[in-house]
């Protein structure tokens, strides 16, 4: 049995919680259009984050040294060391910057 939208009076199938014409949430439904979110512990979210991090590693450790080799003639292993040193310096800088905000309660 379809339900009638209170905003536009259109009929929408019972299985849908949003009006097919005006996207108004069904009266009594907990979530409206676009309110569905995956939690941080959801397998899909974890897999997407993992693949994103793998993509960053591939770019940083494979593509950048190859570009350094191709454009500047730097050996690949030296390019990898340059990338490690750069990211190490960034991590060191960010860790020192956050640690400098600590206050002494004494």
H-only helix segments in 25-99:
43-58, 64-72, 76-99
- Label residue 100 by pLDDT band (50, 70, 90): low
Q: In this structure, what is the dihedral angle of CA atoms 36, 39, 44, 50, given to the nearest 10 degrees?
A: 140
Instruction: Note the pLDDT tens digit of each residue in 50-96.
Output: 888 888 878 888 888 999 999 999 999 999 899 889 988 888 888 88
> In whole angstroms, how far apart are CA 51 and each of 46, 64, 65, 77?
9, 19, 21, 25
**Is the whole model's pTM more than 0.95, yes or no?**
no
pLDDT of 21 higher than 50: yes
Instruction: Note the pLDDT tens digit of each residue in 24-53.
Output: 887 777 654 455 565 667 777 788 888 888
Q: How far does Cα 75 stand from its chain's mean position?
A: 33
């Amino acid at each position: 049995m379809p339900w009638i939208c209170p905003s536009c009076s259109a009929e929408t199938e019972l299985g849908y919680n949003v009006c097919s014409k005006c996207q108004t949430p069904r009266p009594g439904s907990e979530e409206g259009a676009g309110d569905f979110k995956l939690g941080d512990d959801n397998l899909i979210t974890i897999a997407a984050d993992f693949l994103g991090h793998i993509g960053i590693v591939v770019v940083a450790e494979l593509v950048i040294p190859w570009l350094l080799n191709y454009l500047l003639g730097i050996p690949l292993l030296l390019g990898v060391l340059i990338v490690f040193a750069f990211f190490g310096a960034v991590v060191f800088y960010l860790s020192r910057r956050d640690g400098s905000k600590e206050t002494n309660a004494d």
